[in-house]
Structure 1
């Protein structure tokens, strides 16, 4: 006669606690959670839970914004917003679109392209919702570059900049398709200056390269360093370079 194996993994109270914890990610009603996990036959609830978790893509399957490390829905930044308009109208953005200053879009240095963000002015309370389709701003101390239309919505055209709160509220397209983080050490109008700096950095830092970009004000040569998985790693290198060379590096997303 076979004996029933002892339950040596988790007692019922522990199964109930952990079960509710993970099932809560499915937004199930509290009454249903109690019925599933407080009932004496709660073991069957685990089967139900596992099936639901699998069906919902638990663990980061396609379509789940929670998988974007560091940028979940609800991610917030506060800082200075600027705007860009006529001089860039019609230029290619980082995601390949043509920049249309009359649409509600914005540039951010690291958010996945396709992120949708609500931007609120901290000076007048106005809000706009924008889609991130470009990279920038490439100026220290600024967190987002708004289109002309978005800047008009916030009432910041005249002053040029404004203190804002930016909150990620969703994603469009394929926000998982974004590249590594890099440190932009400096930007030059002359290639020879960029190459000289790149030569100084090689041997001290990995993956040093000069990127050529066409802007409304002319061609620029940007010196980039490294490839990083997290902003913390990239910022640590940026801080080291700033101390070493007395420059103002920026952490940027490389979408190429």
Structure 2
């Protein structure tokens, strides 16, 4: 049973009444997720290392892009890739739907880089930017939702983690539709240069450095992550497209923090 079909059934049974699944649990210590949802018991380590979805040309799924109604409201999905940019609130969905089929018939993986949107053509690819911390991800939209007031997009757990919105539950974002056929689209995977800001035997020390670095505005849309290599936890900043960009950012970070930084190539 798909997530959209579940909402359609509840819509038929309860009209426009709100569902219990539409309310984040205010008593939860694990984030602002829906009251009967959550992150799961065994969360993989190094979620920061999960790569963005790689945009590619795909056929639009006909059945998943037909007009539909949920809670009495009609939605008419886009049928082709065209310019789209919108600001709104992103939320995330997790274990409740993990392993269930999405609107295009694929199995939902909460640790994959995917998302749900009410009207974008599916499947498609979007760039999502957290407007509070400027972190970005590229996700593949393969599902419908969120059917909650003032929600623009529902992210997988992994995508929400990368954007740092797990604890808060939702955040203001910019969603931009990517045209895979456009020569101007640059995949973040083409960026290969990183700044190593430190390496620690204790992961907690690496996490403390990440928090310190997040207060610096050294370049928009550039993230930081922890990579475990043997017995050390390395703090990496990037990726950068060119060595020159990485060197300029490295000089700034070194001057602001007195860290001994150096450039590595992935």
Range class of TM-score, shorter chain: 0.3 to 0.5
- Structure ID, larger Rg: 1
Q: Larger RCO: Structure 1 or Structure 2 (Cα < 8 Å, ≥ 6 residues apart)?
A: 2
**With structure 2 as the length reference, what TM-score do the two structures score?**
0.38
Structure with greater helix share of residues: 1
**With structure 1 as the length reference, what TM-score do the two structures score?**
0.39
